[in-house]
């Protein structure tokens, strides 16, 4: 960090460099069953920057403190994080105005200031009176939340993050093995070579080619798969009152307009028409398929990542104290928040429905299999983009209580914190009408045309894991002991962090609560003169309904040493 200032103006810059030896090591435990190749999470250039090796400029802004009349006025311009709201541990609150690098959150020794992604913004604060303050910001840039890349330790999705194009989206219809991009390109080039040399007839080639198109959804590399929103149009206003007569309570009201930082999956449906298959066979015969052109094939369905614009949030927060106990909380109401439709329903619209659209009697039973239809009630047609989300209003509330217990169990201080939160989806569709996507729902929850045999064939039965619910809640708790000057001036601070999602499941991409899921972290920090510090931490993930907890087998131990100048 570097802070250079002169009188009332200055420049603040923060950067970081990291190198992950484990991620950069090519020695992996598993390999692809078809190719024998080991997946390299660092192969994709963007994924490499996120979890393998990178040098980053984080905050970089100019600032100044002035007076307008007799009112203090502060301003910042540049890449910065805006700290609004009172949430400590539960995500998706008012602090959603900041994108998050999820991969950094669990890196050994990582701090929150490394995980929150600075955004180009103009921020200002005006102290109208001693007890009334106005803050506002305008973001002239947009940043997305960074998901752990596929193949990294904390990834729970094989295609959503950067580098996911190498895995494709495996549809699994009929129990097919995973076909990665390298294997697919090699297979398609064999078909093209066969047509080009006359060893394979176009008709036979079309049949061979269609087999791949029916079982894989393609993901374009990097930003080619993403529909980014505009940079501008994001702003916020905060009005804050300090009330000494109410035990020094601070109350704030907010209005924010922002673009989603979390991706939503939509899809371009497959096209199995004779014209499309014939065109693709001609393309294979005339071109070698590479990473640069595989998305030119029209018969494959393709996944797209959407970031919805103009989510409106209205919120209130407060904080106060009562003796040695601090209370804080916030309530946020969002209009038109995007929620992910069950991804299997999306895939049914993208592939089986398109087989039915060809008019082939053998595929007629697939017609109406997907619950997803166009606005006029008709099924999606070949090559159309099927929007993978609904817009819904949501209400979220959370309360945080922090208490200082004083000397306890030989410690000079014991700090306890508990945060309880919940969220309600105001216009949640009935699951019999449309299911939203949640963790562990790798199969459809039912077949709308009443064809259980098809359900068994396509996905080995109906999904038994629960789908997202209208309401969900949970809590987080921390206990931290502080032992000062234990040995030669070394301070020791053991801690316990416990998380419990009590009831309900939030739909993607909220990633908040999964009923029954729990986690516990046991850690201890050693500090010497606020310069040297070492931290040891053990994290365990357990609980959850069925197989909804994708982190259940991701327990880990981390250790870090820091030196501050």
3-state per-residue secondary structure call for 143-161: CCCECCCCCCCCCCCCCCC
| Pairwise pLDDT comparison (212 vs 350), residue with the higher score | 212
Q: Which of 104-118, 194-208, 340-354 has the highest mean pLDDT?
A: 194-208
Over residues 312-324, the pLDDT tens digits come to: 999 999 999 998 8
Q: In this predicted structure, what is the pLDDT of residue 483?
A: 96
Model confidence at 89, pLDDT cuts 50, 70, 90, reads very high
What share of the chain has pLDDT > 90, as a percent?
61
Helix, strand, coil share (%) of the chain residues, nearest 5: 20, 40, 40
544-549 average pLDDT score: 91
3-class secondary structure per residue, 351-372: CHHHHHHCCCHHHHHHCCCCCC
454-476 average pLDDT score: 80
Residues 506 and 436: their CA atoms lie apart, in Å, by 9
Q: Is 435 helix (H, G, I), strand (E, B) or coil?
A: coil
Model confidence at 328, pLDDT cuts 50, 70, 90, reads very high
Residues 532 and 511: their CA atoms lie apart, in Å, by 35
Q: In this predicted structure, what is the pLDDT of residue 454?
A: 55
Model confidence at 30, pLDDT cuts 50, 70, 90, reads low
Q: What angle do CA 139, 144, 150 make, to 5 degrees?
A: 170
The overall average pLDDT reported for the chain is 89
Residues 6+ apart with CB under 8 A from 52: 19, 20, 23, 24, 41, 42
Model confidence at 34, pLDDT cuts 50, 70, 90, reads low
Strands, E assignment, 361-436:
385-386, 389-408, 411-425
329-346 average pLDDT score: 93
Q: In this predicted structure, what is the pLDDT of residue 431?
A: 84
**Contact (CB, 8 A) for 84 and 314:** no
CB atoms within 10 A of CB 476: 21
Q: In this predicted structure, what is the pLDDT of residue 395?
A: 98
For residue 538, give the H/E element and its range: strand 532-543
């Amino acid at each position: 960090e570097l802070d250079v200032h002169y009188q009332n103006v200055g420049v603040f810059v923060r950067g970081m460099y990291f190198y992950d030896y484990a991620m950069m090591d090519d020695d992996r435990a598993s390999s692809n069953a078809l190719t024998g190749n080991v997946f390299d999470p660092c192969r994709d250039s963007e994924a490499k920057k996120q979890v393998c090796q990178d040098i980053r400029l984080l905050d970089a802004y100019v600032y100044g403190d002035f007076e307008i009349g007799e009112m203090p006025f502060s301003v910042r311009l540049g890449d910065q994080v805006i700290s609004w709201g009172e949430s400590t541990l539960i995500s998706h609150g008012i602090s959603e105005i900041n994108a998050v690098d999820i991969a950094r959150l669990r890196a050994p020794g990582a701090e929150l200031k490394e995980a929150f992604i600075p955004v180009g913004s103009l921020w200002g604060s005006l102290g109208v009176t001693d007890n009334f303050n106005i803050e506002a910001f305008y973001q002239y840039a947009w940043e997305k939340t960074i998901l752990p890349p596929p193949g990294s330790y904390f990834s729970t999705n094989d295609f959503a993050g950067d580098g996911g194009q190498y895995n494709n989206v495996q549809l699994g219809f009929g129990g097919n093995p995973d076909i990665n991009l390298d294997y697919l390109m090699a297979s398609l080039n064999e078909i093209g070579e066969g047509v080009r040399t006359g060893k394979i007839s176009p008709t036979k080639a079309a049949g061979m080619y269609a087999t791949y198109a029916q079982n894989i959804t393609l993901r374009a590399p990097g930003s080619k798969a993403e529909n980014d929103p505009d940079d501008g149009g994001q702003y916020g206003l905060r009005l804050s009152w300090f009330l000494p007569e109410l035990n020094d309570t601070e109350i704030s009201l907010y209005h924010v307009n922002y673009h989603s930082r979390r991706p939503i999956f939509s899809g371009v449906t497959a096209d199995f028409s004779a014209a499309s298959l014939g065109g693709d066979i001609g393309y294979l015969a005339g071109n070698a398929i590479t990473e640069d052109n595989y998305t030119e094939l029209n018969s494959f369905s393709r996944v797209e990542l959407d970031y919805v614009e103009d989510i409106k949030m209205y919120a209130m927060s407060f904080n106060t104290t009562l003796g040695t106990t601090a209370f804080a909380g916030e309530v946020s109401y969002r209009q038109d928040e995007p929620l992910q439709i069950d991804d299997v329903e999306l895939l049914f619209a993208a592939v089986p429905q398109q087989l039915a659209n060809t008019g082939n009697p053998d595929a007629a039973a697939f017609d109406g299999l997907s619950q997803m239809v166009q606005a006029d009630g008709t099924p999606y047609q070949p090559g159309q983009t099927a929007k993978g989300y609904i817009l819904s209003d949501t209400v979220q509330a959370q309360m945080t209580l922090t208490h200082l217990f004083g000397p306890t169990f030989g410690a000079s201080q014991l700090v306890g914190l508990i945060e309880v939160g919940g969220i309600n989806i105001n216009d949640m569709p009935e699951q019999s009408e449309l299911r939203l996507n949640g963790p562990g729902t790798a199969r459809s929850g039912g077949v709308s045309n009443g064809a259980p045999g098809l359900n068994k064939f396509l996905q080995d039965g109906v999904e038994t894991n629960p789908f997202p619910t209208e309401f969900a809640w949970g809590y987080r708790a921390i206990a931290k002991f502080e032992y000062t000057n234990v040995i030669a001036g070394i301070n020791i601070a053991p801690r316990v962090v416990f998380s419990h999602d009590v009831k309900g499941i939030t739909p993607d991409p909220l990633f908040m609560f999964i009923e029954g899921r729990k986690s516990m972290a046991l850690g201890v920090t050693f500090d010497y003169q606020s310069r040297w510090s070492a931290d040891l931490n053990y994290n365990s993930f357990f609980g959850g309904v069925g197989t909804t907890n994708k982190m259940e087998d991701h327990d880990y131990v981390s250790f870090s040493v820091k030196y501050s100048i």
